[in-house]
Structure 1
Amino acid sequence: MSLLTHLLVCLFGMGSWVSINGLWVELPLIVPQIPEGWYLPSYLSVIIQMANVGPLFVTLMHHFRPGTLNETAVIYVIISLGTASSFLLGFFWNETVVVAGVPRSVALLVLTLFLAAVDCTSSVTFLPFMMRLRPQYLTTYYIGEGVSGLLPALVALIQGVGVVQCINSTQSLNHTLNSSNSSLTFDLQAQYQPANFSVEVFFFFLSAMMLVCLLAFLLLNYHPAVAREHPSSQYTSRVKEKSQKDRKWVEQKPMMDPYRPENQKRRSSFGTGAYSWMQVFYIFAILAWANAVTNAVLPSVQSYSCMPYGANAYHLSATMAAVSNPLACFIAQFLPVRSLLLMAALTVIGTGVGAYVMGMAVLSPCPLLVNDTSGGVIIVLAWIVFVLTLSYVKVMIGVILRDEGHAALVWCGAVVQLGSLLGAVTMFPVVSVYSFFSSGDPCNTKCP
């Protein structure tokens, strides 16, 4: 395999969600300077779900008019749109327009809609494009997709986003003009430190990352070294021979994989027919669930689950969770286990750990072990295990569906977006409308 192709595929995958991920990590610096304030995350959640009209259109076109949509042209358009929108945000993110007598950040919201449309549509275009390369590169693509969340988080960390310093504040009680004595109480107050560089520079960085993605896609289409990595007849015959050997082994281990023997009839009309419709439903159900909880449900309560343990626990959990995603993809590159049984086990483990995280968010601002150092260590480890296990599951499902053909990868992207949509729709009223969760103070923990 070509190292250049691996690098280009990674950079290509990086452009899938780098813009929206970057926007989320920059919120602590954006929110104080716009009229929407901390209602902005709620608006962003709605806007991102509105942008799912993009993948819906692509999926329906593939289903009802197969071959009509030029996939390569669509990718060029959405990457170019993402590059331009990120660049324009650097100039207009804090510009306001009076709407119905109230100032609104119209430019920010409209450009965010464009970015969300780009990233959501990438799920049903980038993945099917990977059918043009050998299967081994699909895992590299997922590594790049993980980097799309890690890289903005690291840059924001360097920028100093959300860094809190606890300072002493003195309050005077029962103070009178005729008395020289006063009752003083001392408390710690959270003070956010100024950033090392501006929001504008950060958005220009995101635009540069999208431009890198565009250049990587150009080279994937036209570089001669990449052309040699397209599946050839010789390569296909080797893969088929190896697959037959694997299937003979699997026949002896029926719980490991549902590959059908060579002389067995197709189990369904889905893809190669290796999976029954019940197994296909099972795979897509796990895919939808994994994306719902990792992309929407748990991220919406991350601050509630971590902030009571302190600002360091919150930032460490966010950073390590971002690292865990590409790490899981890297592990999958060398341990591509396709066992449906293992997939179920990892999903149960990840969901169980996620339930602990959700429980701590519900108990905020006084979760378990809030006054103990071990509480912060456990919540950070919980986030790492949660992201690591379910990210591995998502990669393995992508690898399985890649073998089932182009249409299977289109549906893979559609289910990814559907799961994320259901998770966001579920959590939006709970978090933003009914305010079910209570924030913890990173400097003052007043719990028994």
Structure 2
Amino acid sequence: MSLRIHVLACCFGLGSWVAVNGLWVELPLIVNTLPEGWELPSYLTVIIQLANLGPLLVTLMHKLCPGRLKERAVIYSVLSIGVLACILLAFSWDETTVVAAASRSTAFFILTFFLALVDCTSSVTFLPFMMQLPAHYITTYFIGEGLSGFIPGLVALGQGVGMAKCVNATQSSGNLTEEDMYIVQTQFLPPNFSTEVFFFFLAAMMCISLAAFSALNRLPRTFELSTENLVPDTDTVASVCSGLDNHGAVTEGENSNPKHHSEESGQARPQLVKSGHSVFQLTFIYFMVVWVNGATNGLLTSVQTYSCMPYGNLAYHLSAALASCANPVACIVAMFFPKRSLVLLGVLCLIGSVFGGYNMAMATMSPCPLLQGSALGEAIIGYCHMSR
């Protein structure tokens, strides 16, 4: 029973961000086909941010009409929309319409909005549902959430976008001698499978998540725990926040004297107050959150074609795919080896800002950035793109 629920929780987490992550890793192939060209990431960034309307509506419903919103029904709805949107993308992602005398990827933008709506809304619906299960299953859910970016990245690497080979070609124009009739040209190989197949793969992952949720939703109610039972009491929170070791906590059947428990709790509370962050520290933390999220999810993603594309399709493809893999790997590592040092977080933020600054500088210099045409330039831009 436990192993089965761990598998279901992991599969359920796959549907959290798989659609948006899949769009970003497939962008190196899409950007050469759709009429927006290199401006496509900027459009996607705006559309994905607009999709935060979903979690905003869920939050407002909880505040204005408490108890009226059934989150299980919302999860069924958003996952079904995700499956349908992925299938429709497979058939119509390259369809264009004329808007204001210009060709636009209207179908792609509309379906992207619905996919982003699914993923953004999952942040405020999936986790509350998982909190109805014992706490150790939430970790498994987060692993599945990380895989929602890791798996599409691996699939995109297997797709092989941007691979090239040198072939002999015949030059047919002009009065040339026989020696000049044959030249060597670079020919880009087609991907191992098409964009349509990739979108069907995303639809399959969404179906797996929907099936896993349906199975979790049918678990015996005697197995579930209410959300209230998962909220630790004040004493436990104080003990955890004050940094007490596990052997200092009071457990059932071991030193369960209420008076002793009260004394330890009283000592823990002063420690909690003393360990609270100052106004300066809180300001620094919030600044890092705003800066990192703004740069990663807005600024750098909107110019990634300008920073990576001049180095070639292969560099752009590998940067996008490996970045999608690096992000969940880093999250999983941080989950098992948490470090709460503000100094360490500040250093990491500074290093990431340097890499991001290099990305922005190369985007500004596009289409002729530094070290263009060299393996070193491709490696540096790829590493900076992954490190953001």
Q: TM-score surpassing 0.5?
A: yes
Rg: which structure is higher? 2
1:327 Cα deviation from its structure 2 partner:
1.2
Give the partner amino acid of 1:328. Answer: A
Q: Deviations over 1:225-258 (max 9, x none)?
A: 9946777969957x965961661559xxxxxxxx
Q: Cα gap change, 1:20/1:168 in structure 2, threshold over 3 Å: closer, same or farther?
A: farther
Find the counterpart in structure 2 of residue 322 from structure 1. Answer: 324
Give the partner amino acid of 1:197. Answer: F
1:335 Cα deviation from its structure 2 partner:
0.8
1:330 Cα deviation from its structure 2 partner:
1.9
Contact 1:2 1:229 in 2 (8 A): no
Matched, 1:356 2:362: no
State the distance in 2 between where 1:230 and 1:336 align: 27
Find the counterpart in structure 1 of residue 109 from structure 2. Answer: 109
Q: Deviations over 1:295-346 (max 9, x none)?
A: 2322333344344555444333333222211211221232122334433332
| Alignment counterpart, residue 247 of structure 1, candidates 237, 242, 253 | 242
Contact 2:93 2:108 in 1 (8 A): yes
1:287 Cα deviation from its structure 2 partner:
2.6
Find the counterpart in structure 2 of residue 195 from structure 1. Answer: 191
Q: Deviations over 1:334-376 (max 9, x none)?
A: 2122334433332222222322333333344454444654443
State the distance in 2 between where 1:103 and 1:367 align: 29
Give the partner amino acid of 1:262. Answer: A
State the distance in 1 between where 2:306 and 2:184 align: 19
State the distance in 2 between where 1:160 and 1:283 align: 40
Q: Cα gap change, 1:140/1:349 in structure 2, threshold over 3 Å: closer, same or farther?
A: farther
Give the partner amino acid of 2:297. Answer: N
1:210 Cα deviation from its structure 2 partner:
0.8
Q: Cα gap change, 1:119/1:181 in structure 2, threshold over 3 Å: closer, same or farther?
A: same
Find the counterpart in structure 2 of residue 149 from structure 1. Answer: 149
State the distance in 2 between where 1:229 and 1:189 align: 65
State the distance in 2 between where 1:358 and 1:101 align: 32
Find the counterpart in structure 2 of residue 294 from structure 1. Answer: 296
State the distance in 1 between where 2:85 and 2:240 align: 49
State the distance in 1 between where 2:76 and 2:337 align: 33
Percent identical pairs in the alignment equals: 51
Q: Cα gap change, 1:226/1:331 in structure 2, threshold over 3 Å: closer, same or farther?
A: farther
Find the counterpart in structure 1 of residue 217 from structure 2. Answer: 221
Contact 1:26 1:199 in 2 (8 A): yes
State the distance in 2 between where 1:304 and 1:295 align: 16
Q: Deviations over 1:122-150 (max 9, x none)?
A: 23323444433455555544433332223
SS at match of 1:324: helix
State the distance in 1 between where 2:222 and 2:291 align: 35
1:82 Cα deviation from its structure 2 partner:
0.8
Which stretch shifts more, 58-67 or 331-340? 58-67
SS at match of 2:162: coil
Contact 1:93 1:107 in 2 (8 A): yes
State the distance in 1 between where 2:87 and 2:167 align: 37
Find the counterpart in structure 2 of residue 380 from structure 1. Answer: 382
Contact 2:161 2:314 in 1 (8 A): no
Give the partner amino acid of 1:109. Answer: F
Contact 2:161 2:317 in 1 (8 A): no
State the distance in 2 between where 1:190 and 1:246 align: 60
Find the counterpart in structure 2 of residue 126 from structure 1. Answer: 126
- Give 1:26-37 correspondences, 5 Å limit: 26-30=26-30
CA RMSD of aligned residues (A): 4.2
1:194 Cα deviation from its structure 2 partner:
1.8
State the distance in 2 between where 1:333 and 1:306 align: 30
- Give 1:37-56 correspondences, 5 Å limit: 40-56=40-56
1:79 Cα deviation from its structure 2 partner:
1.0
| Alignment counterpart, residue 268 of structure 2, candidates 262, 284, 303 | 262
Contact 1:134 1:230 in 2 (8 A): no
State the distance in 2 between where 1:58 and 1:100 align: 35
Q: Cα gap change, 1:166/1:210 in structure 2, threshold over 3 Å: closer, same or farther?
A: same
- Give 1:395-414 correspondences, 5 Å limit: none
Contact 2:300 2:360 in 1 (8 A): yes
Give the partner amino acid of 2:378. Answer: G
Matched, 1:207 2:196: no
Q: Cα gap change, 1:383/1:3 in structure 2, threshold over 3 Å: closer, same or farther?
A: farther
State the distance in 1 between where 2:228 and 2:53 align: 36
State the distance in 1 between where 2:300 and 2:183 align: 31
SS at match of 1:223: coil
Give the partner amino acid of 1:148. Answer: S
Find the counterpart in structure 1 of residue 158 from structure 2. Answer: 158
TM-score (normalised: structure 1): 0.66
Structure 2 unaligned spans of 5+: 246-265
SS at match of 1:351: helix
SS at match of 1:320: helix
Q: Cα gap change, 1:362/1:62 in structure 2, threshold over 3 Å: closer, same or farther?
A: same
State the distance in 2 between where 1:106 and 1:226 align: 48
Find the counterpart in structure 2 of residue 333 from structure 1. Answer: 335
SS at match of 2:268: coil
Contact 1:220 1:226 in 2 (8 A): no
Q: Cα gap change, 1:41/1:352 in structure 2, threshold over 3 Å: closer, same or farther?
A: closer
TM-score (normalised: structure 2): 0.75
SS at match of 2:242: helix
State the distance in 2 between where 1:266 and 1:230 align: 27
Find the counterpart in structure 2 of residue 75 from structure 1. Answer: 75
